[in-house]
Amino acid sequence: MTTRLHFAQIAILTPLHQLFTYKIPEGLQDKVRPGMRLVVPFRNKKMVGFCLGLTTEAPKNFDEKKIREIIEVKDDFETFSPKMIELLNWLADYYLAPIGEVCRAALPSKLLQAEGSAKATPRLQEEEHSHFHQTEEFVLTKEQQEALKTILSFDKLRTSDDFNAAHPEQSRRVESSPPILLHGITGSGKTEIYLQCIKKILQSGRQAILLVPEIGLTPQLIGRVQSRLNTEVAIYHSGLSDAWRMVYWEKMRKGEIHVVVGTRSALFAPFQNLGAIIIDEEHDSSYKQAEGGFYYHARDAAIVRGKIENIPVILGSATPSLESFYNAKKGKYCYIPLTQRATGAALPTVSIIDLRQNKFVDGSHTLSPPLKEAISERLYRGEQSLLLLNRRGFANFLLCEDCGHTPRCPNCSITLTYHKKPPLLICHYCDYKIGTAANCPECQSAAIKPLGEGTQALEEELKKNFPQAKILRLDKDTAAKREHRHHVLNEMKRGKADILIGTQIVAKGHDFPNITLVGVVLADTTLHLPDFRAHEKTFQLLTQVAGRSGRDKKAGHVLIQTFQPDNFSLTCTREHNYAKFSEQELMMRETLQYPPFSRLAQIRIQGANEQKVKETAKKLRRYFGERENISILGPAAAPLAKLRGKYRWQILLKSQNSKMLKHLLTHAQQFLDREKITQVQLQIDVDCLHLM
């Protein structure tokens, strides 16, 4: 006789850290399965929930008669596979996140609605990458061949028909492979290895996930994937319309699409027979969820999914995160180096311009004489230049020279950035905007001066110095417009533009053969961040942008302007010496017991009442007391002490003991309820990357 499973453990889309038990009505006994999407009564409304388990018993000490019933089964299929449920549970446990919020992050919004259908039929494709198609397969260099061979050797499921016919019992791998760190210098052909690896996966009837930091800025990669694999590819990211996200999700679930290229959320692709996960630019901080939802790291979650699915996970980068590189050094990851550019081109020559000696002249605020001369030379030779300035807008702020007043955001503890076209003062965190005034609002003086140049100011100065040049700008202000973004990248690819300027988004993934000069206008902007990773971020950014130069037959040159020419992040960039940089930086991290030599978690206390936030932070610190084997830093006001109208304090916890750290964080999570503190929120960020 079949045992009746009377109760379901259901994740509700709320910020509560628990599953809820619901009774399965008699008519739904044979329809409710783990992973299914349901409608349940919650408080005074109907809500979507997800069945994550079944049981024959009601919770202990609970009146069975008071357990409410499931209202509806939304689909005839499981939204989450057993392996995906395992991943979701791991994420909720590791990041101390509400399981409902984890489920929310994994799905298109149309699947989160209790009412209506989840079906969608959009008319037009969201992105077009036809300018960057490349159908021919490159001949791999010897280094690339060895790398691909090593990667495929970890996949125990052979792709040959003979092997599959002879070993049908080995349809899944029997051994788990370690994550693979593909450490290839810029231009070494990592993308070609990705493509040929995915092709092998597809030939065996399986699917592949390729994660990228930013979809809008990698059209060359996407174009190559679409054309080379000769199959429909899901382009999946947060900027996609709800309708298209639903269409792609449904096609992946049904097996109609076998490859997805996307940002963080593509990690949750509902593939039934996944063969590999590839994370391009694995060091990029955008893989870490920084706002809203729960603070997971897509790279680390991908490694866990790879272990659950028993498949290879490939981490690619020219500048690996020190955590990944350290794991490779310790043998936890397989390490595959690529030391030569695939085209045979040499790495660019890197020179450091000391701004203490090379003063700006002729009214210039961004271009030193050596950089100006180098740009002029490229224009004369018909070659292209790329200039990096990691500040958008025209100026960092406006300053009244008479009274010292600077306009500040009323919602955030920062000055407003001055944009000249159109003339606005903008907060780059909450998007607060006001118009500019001719006179100081404090003293009515007209002596208002812009300070701290941004990309708009650089563009204006370049136009004055090189009026004959075609200059394009790509930063967050312009890249948000799809048409402009495609226009800029296409003009650069076709050689129709002379100079491309932008923020860090111009440093990622672009391959323009005629760029022979890269200029870094001010390398110091990232060095002074209040973050122990400041040197690592600087080295990664400079190395990545330097790699845009000299990728074809013409030699490349990089000029880095700085007031700190002896900083080791810069000197290691000049030498193209990742090994030297990582050795020195890891030595410093070990001394201070920062990751990867410890685990780091951030507790942020925030609210609209500044005094209450401060008192709560201090009260929580007193509650912690002194703990053995855990270093507790703070409490202190966050570097951005006010953001979007909320005051913020933070406490950092460092420990080599993961269990003790989790124990303390769990107690912190319950602190507000236990102390009956209201109007204050507490956020926990495990393995935090963003300390601002």
* Residue 374 sits in the same domain as residue 385: yes
Q: Which residues contact 444 (CB under 8 A, 6 or more apart)?
A: none
* Residue 76 sits in the same domain as residue 202: no
* Residue 444 sits in the same domain as residue 484: no
| Residue 135, pLDDT score | 62
Report how many domains make up the chain.
5
Residue 120 falls inside a structural domain: no
* Residue 540 sits in the same domain as residue 654: no
CA triplet 280, 285, 288: central angle to 5 degrees?
95
Q: How far apart are CA 387 and CA 364, in angstroms?
A: 15
Per-residue tokens: 639: 């570097």
| Residue 226, pLDDT score | 83
Residue 521 falls inside a structural domain: yes
* Residue 481 sits in the same domain as residue 617: no
| Residue 123, pLDDT score | 55
* Range(s) of the domain holding residue 332: 140-156+175-338
* Residue 18 sits in the same domain as residue 89: yes
Residue 195 falls inside a structural domain: yes
Q: How far apart are CA 654 and CA 592, in angstroms?
A: 10
* DSSP labels, 339-389: -S-TT-PPPPEEEEEETTTS---TT-SS--HHHHHHHHHHHHHT-EEEEE-
* Residue 101 sits in the same domain as residue 46: yes
Is residue 282 helix, strand or coil?
A: coil
pTM: 0.91
Instruction: With residue 194 as reference, give the H or E element that holds it.
Output: helix 190-203
Amino acid type, 247: V
| Residue 159, pLDDT score | 43
CB-CB contact of 391 with 454 (8 Å): yes
* CATH at 491: 3.40.50.300
| Residue 225, pLDDT score | 86
* Grouped pLDDT means (10 residues each) for the chain, 692 residues: 73 93 91 95 93 87 81 95 98 96 95 78 52 69 95 67 44 67 94 94 95 75 82 87 93 96 95 96 93 90 96 97 97 96 92 90 84 96 94 76 85 83 83 88 86 85 94 82 81 92 85 92 84 93 93 92 94 97 96 94 95 95 91 90 92 94 92 90 93 78
Residue 84 falls inside a structural domain: yes
* CATH at 658: 3.30.70.600
| Residue 80, pLDDT score | 97
Q: How far apart are CA 93 and CA 87, in angstroms?
A: 10
